[in-house]
Chain A
Amino acid sequence: MSAARGAEAPTQTAQSQNDVEPSILDFAGGLPGFADLRRFALVRWGGDNSPLCLLKSMDRPEVEFVVAPPNVFFPDYEPELDDGTAERLGLSEAEDALMLVILTVEKPPESATANLMGPIVVNKNTLDAAQVVLADSGYELRAPLGGK
């Protein structure tokens, strides 16, 4: 697996910062606010070097989220997964997990935020996914992308 999601600085590199493989994810528990939507297509957006992806509902195509690997924007972001979530997603190795954060796109784009309190965690082998709630983590629900 790529080390792109490690602790490297979020500088512009020649390598793609995005090791996301297009896939169909299964959110067995739905997403808060969209409990009835389980299957989402994860696709890259914006070319090979773009860190942005779209998460598009298979059932309601008008529902889509902009997501990205968090470390592109937040290099120090290393939330801990609770055992229950890891078990539910069948995750035993950290390398099997893909983490994404949902971006809220605003006008102007500098106002965009990332949901660090509720990251999406994917088992890259099974494509089971869940939005994890890090209630006591101190991570922000709306962290400015252009933060610092």
Chain B
Amino acid sequence: MLVLTRRANQSIMIGHDVVVTVLEVRGDQIRIGIRAPREIDVHREEVFRQLQAANRQAASPDKDALDALGALVPGPREARPG
């Protein structure tokens, strides 16, 4: 891991167009500003990891379980086409 020392209001460039700025240091908390192109998602790591795990769990559901859920949800049922 690359380690750099920065003070408040100093920044780091990542690539050509991502700027990470230390805005404020207060006790054990640091406020960070991030300027990045809009196609780059910026998330807190723990939130992103949670979403990854939830997506992986949701992917490729069991067919029988899906049929069973389909029988529960609102609306009259019809046979699954195909």
Chain A residues with CB under 8 Å of chain B are: 10-12, 16-18, 28-29, 31-34, 45-52, 62-66, 68, 72-73, 84, 87-88, 102-110, 112, 115, 117-118, 131, 133, 135, 141-142, 145-146
Contact = CB atoms under 8 A, between A and B. Distances in A.
Nearest to B57: A104
A46 B76 CA distance: 10
User: What secondary structure prevails in chain B residues at the interface with A?
Assistant: loop
B5 interface: no
B41 A17 contact: no
A13 B52 CA distance: 35
B55 to A, nearest CB: 4
B74 interface: yes
User: What secondary structure prevails in chain A residues at the interface with B?
Assistant: loop
A72 B70 CA distance: 13
B38 A87 contact: yes
Interface of B: 38-41, 43-44, 47-48, 50-62, 64-66, 68-81
A112 B25 CA distance: 42
B75 A33 contact: no
B70 A45 contact: yes
B61 to A, nearest CB: 4
Contacts of A62: 60
A148 to B, nearest CB: 15
Contacts of A52: 66, 69-70, 73
